[in-house]
Amino acid sequence: MFFTVVSYIAAFLTTASFVPQAVKTIRTKDTASISLGMYVMFTGGVMLWMAYGIATGQPAIVISNFITTILAVVILCYKIAGVRAEK
């Protein structure tokens, strides 16, 4: 039981951690020091985790990765817009 709680806290932290980054990015529109490569790979990864959670019937994995996907896509879109603006 104890380690189940640990996994929920871990899932909450790794998911919720993208909220302050998304807020900062939306507010400042500054993505210069954010890696485009990171968010392309990361977004792909959390989308695959979501598919895995759906296929194996694990709602906790689906929900946490769905939230992370939305946040990561927001940051990725600002980064792509920033890259285009530089050109």
Helices 59-86 & 18-28, crossing angle to 10 degrees? 30
Q: Is 10 in the site for a copy of itself (CB under 8 A)?
A: yes
Minimum Å gap between C-beta 57 and a copy of itself is 11
Tell me the HSE value of 56 on the side-chain side, using a 13 A CA sphere: 10
Minimum Å gap between C-beta 80 and a copy of itself is 14
Binding mask 32-71 for a copy of itself (x = CB under 8 A): xxxxxxxxxxx-xxx-xx-xx--xx---------------
- For residues 62 and 9, the answer to whether their CB atoms sit within 8 Å is no
